[in-house]
Amino acid sequence: MNGLLSDIIRSLNKEEIRNFKLYSTRIQTREDKKMLHLFDKIKSEGADEYADELVKELFPGSGKNPYYRLKNRLIEDLEQSLLLLHRSRYDEFQIHNLLLLARVFIYKSDYKLGFYYLKKAETYAAKQEYFHLLQIIYDEIILLAGSYKKINPETYISKRGQALQQYITNRKIDDLIAVIQYRLGKTNFVGDNKQLTEALTKAMEKIELSSDVLKSPTTEFRIYKCVRNLLLQKKDYKALEKYLLETLERFEARDMFNQSNHERKVVMHSWIINTLTKNKSFRKSLEFTDRLHEQLLSFNKLMYPKYIWLYYQSRVINFSFLGRNDQVIELLEDLKDQGKGESNYYQSFFIPLNLCSSYYCAGDLDKSLKNLSALLTKENYNNLDPNWKLRISILEVMLHLEAKDFEYADGRLREVKKIFRTTLSREGYEREKQFLQILAALIKYPDAIKRAKVLEKIQAFIQESKDYELGSNEVLDYSIWLKSQIGSPSYYDLILNHSLKTPQ
């Protein structure tokens, strides 16, 4: 069973783990050793933080209360360690820290130092257009003026009024963005919701802003997000590609990017990469993938830990559709070797999933199954989203069927139908349900392809399937896989035929 402690520990990267170990060993006590032991049990062994066995191991014969106190202290230490490590990583964090320092000195009645740190926080917040934080800073300064007579409150009351107007303007845009994101999120970008698109377009037309505000980088970024999301909602990927490329070029020409908003530039590159891939411009997408890598190395690798896997994912996807499957395998195997011993989403899910698919495309069914087994371990499988559990389970049946392990495939198919019975009965899962029926027939009859009724079902499934869509959630596309089972071209050849229909 997962809990807050397990969730926090699983989220930690190497740097955060190292920092926590240093933080927690600053004073070595018996309780500290137990706390580190608990941390290691959860991190390295995947122990259940609610398990009675863990309580008895740490506190034999003492009941659960000491264990819960230890858990709470471990959570607090993890939180403090993370705050210390990241306290100066982003400008906004630094401003919050300056506010806290100012309050500490004001509490100690050292008003001069308190004012110094408030002024420093004001400089940072004004430079980055953090108008919401400027409101808090000016409130603190005006309040401090009652005790520190060197402050002229009128100056800061005027500044607060100006910042408030800017804040209100930006809040209007923030409110609009929030509504757009909420409505688009509710639709999950699926379907052709004409009514919603028209409503959002009208909402954009109602923004009434002065030219000065429109020229503000903060405002420009917000409007960019609105238009970007609208085009995505319309599924107008060609228009989206054009808009993204032109906007990035315009923002770069105006020198709108700096260290404080560097993440925006990284995210813009990710949108361009994904859109180019969607539009089958794989070579151009790889060009922007290289540009993304350059951005990740900027500012002392500020965004590298957070987005480096986006770079690897982009290379894997575009190499795959350019027929460079051998390079995909080489890249993934290198990443697997580099990350041995790590326990994170990419090592436990992304790498084995893509290796499973890539080895299958290379015709190496044994290695495909070997990497699939890594996804099926109790620790990895239990942490998957329910939909991914279903997809991985269907994939397992497909691969064992192709390996002619009919007995195992049949048993696993029965388990899948039983375990996911409720899910498969829901609206939206008709495709999976029909595909499982076809798999059952292929398992039952060795000559199934030659049977007219089975072949009829397969052809009907293929005809009813939409054209192959890049980025499909099916690990192996069901309709293309069926085509490869009843025809001579391999699965990967069929994929390339679909993906290379347009100039690269």
CA dihedral 158→160→165→169, nearest 10 degrees, is: 160
Helix (H, G, I), strand (E, B) or coil at 250: helix
At residue 346, the pLDDT reads: 80
From 16-25, 323-332, 357-366, the region with the lowest mean pLDDT: 16-25
- pLDDT for residue 295 is more than 60: yes
At residue 476, the pLDDT reads: 93
Q: Which residue has the higher pLDDT, 462 or 128?
A: 462
Q: What is the mean pLDDT of residues 317-330?
A: 96
From 13-17, 318-322, 344-348, the region with the lowest mean pLDDT: 344-348
| Residue pLDDT, tens place only, 30-74 | 677 888 888 888 887 778 888 888 888 888 877 788 888 989 999
Q: What is the mean pLDDT of residues 432-446?
A: 93
Radius of gyration of the chain (CA): 28
At residue 205, the pLDDT reads: 59
Each domain of the chain, given as residue ranges in start order, spans: 4-86, 91-151, 385-504
Helix (H, G, I), strand (E, B) or coil at 197: helix
Tokens 């028209």 locate to: 198
At residue 404, the pLDDT reads: 93
At residue 2, the pLDDT reads: 67
At residue 128, the pLDDT reads: 82
From 214-228, 282-296, 311-325, 423-437, the region with the lowest mean pLDDT: 214-228
| Residue pLDDT, tens place only, 213-265 | 556 777 788 778 877 887 787 788 888 898 899 999 999 999 999 998 999 99
Element (H, E) at 441: helix 430-444
- pLDDT for residue 210 is more than 60: no
Give the whole-number percent of the chain exceeding pLDDT 70. 88
Q: What is the mean pLDDT of residues 301-310?
A: 93
| Averaged confidence pLDDT in the chain | 86
Q: Please give the angle made by the CA atoms of 467, 390 and 497, to the nearest 5 degrees.
A: 25
- pLDDT for residue 376 is more than 80: yes
| Token pair recorded at residue 342 | 């790590």
- The burial of 262, by beta-carbon neighbours within 10 Å (0-12 exposed, 13-18 middle, 19 or more buried), is given as middle
Confidence of residue 197 (pLDDT cuts 50, 70, 90): low
Q: What is the mean pLDDT of residues 316-342?
A: 91
